[in-house]
């Protein structure tokens, strides 16, 4: 029951952040949240810890929890590292993947399609990121999978808050094209598509205004 309640709190707060009802930098007061959800502060702490693991909030000693406000610079750095890692992953995947691995990616694409079509913003964001982690998992490389999970979580808030529906649909379409190239064992095309995909997502994110900058007149 506790885990279900904690999961509900995490999901509700995530949606509040996504829908801009909780702004970057907003303080999350444990007692206020406990009263709002009708639960103990212990459950609220568990939920906040989970959100901090997902990098959606930051915990500051003696100050409390705040909605994270990651910078565009951080997102650019994340994508630079991802491009290096995922180029190697794509090459390795083509060399070692079986048809069962390809089919698993196709199944993942189907879940992406469903999330995009029903307008599930948190769901589609999770699935679009997990596509890359799934490739590493299918290769049996747990270290790479965890590295990618950490990198993805670093820009999760930016993606959640600022990726438009059209951008999400475009990312989904690009995933489909990548899988087709992987299935055809076309390494050059797969590498080109993966790099272009990451560059496209990054380009969309770099259009985000810096919330700490002085507004333009």
- Specify the CATH number for the domain of residue 53: 1.10.10.10
- Residue pair 102/190 in contact by the 8 Å Cβ criterion: no
Q: Which pair of structure tokens corresponds to residue 54?
A: 């997902």
Residues 61 and 89 placed together within one structural domain of the fold? no
- pLDDT above 60 (res 7): yes
Q: What is the pLDDT of residue 37?
A: 94
Q: Which one is predicted more confidently, 33 or 54? A: 33
**What is the Cα–Cα distance from 11 to 65, expressed in whole angstroms?**
17
Please check whether residue 152 is in contact with residue 129, taking contact to mean a CB–CB distance below 8 angstroms.
yes
**72-123 pLDDT, tens digit each:** 788 788 889 999 999 999 999 999 999 999 999 999 999 999 999 998 887 8
| Closest of 115, 78, 61 to residue 52, by C-alpha | 61
Q: How many domains, in total, are found in the chain?
A: 2
pLDDT tens-digit profile of 8-33?
999 899 888 877 788 888 999 999 99
Same domain, 91 and 192: yes
Among the candidates 33, 67, 101, a domain finishes at 67
Residue ending a domain, among 67, 97, 113, is: 67
Tell whether 39 and 76 lie within a shared domain: no
The Cα–Cα gap between 36 and 13 comes to: 11
Same domain, 93 and 62: no
pLDDT in tens, 120-137: 887 888 899 899 999 999
């Amino acid at each position: 029951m506790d885990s279900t309640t904690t999961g509900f709190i995490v999901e509700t707060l995530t949606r509040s952040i996504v829908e801009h009802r909780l702004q970057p930098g907003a303080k999350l007061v444990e007692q206020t949240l406990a009263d709002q959800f009708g639960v103990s502060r212990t459950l609220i702490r568990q939920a906040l810890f989970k959100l901090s693991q997902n990098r959606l909030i930051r915990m500051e000693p003696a100050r409390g929890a705040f909605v994270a406000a990651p910078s565009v610079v951080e997102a650019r750095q994340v994508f630079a590292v991802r491009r290096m890692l995922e180029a190697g992953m794509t090459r390795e995947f083509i060399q070692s993947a079986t048809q069962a691995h390809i089919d698993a990616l196709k199944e993942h694409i189907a879940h992406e399609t469903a999330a995009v079509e029903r307008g599930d913003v948190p769901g589609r964001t999770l699935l679009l990121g997990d596509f890359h982690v799934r490739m590493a998992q299918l290769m049996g490389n747990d270290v790479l999978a965890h590295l990618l999970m950490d990198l993805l979580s670093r820009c999760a808030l930016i993606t959640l808050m600022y990726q438009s529906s059209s951008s999400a649909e475009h990312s989904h379409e690009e995933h489909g094209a990548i899988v087709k190239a992987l299935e055809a064992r076309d390494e050059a095309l797969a590498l080109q598509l993966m790099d272009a995909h990451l560059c496209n997502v990054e380009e969309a994110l770099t259009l985000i205004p810096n919330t700490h900058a002085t507004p333009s007149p």
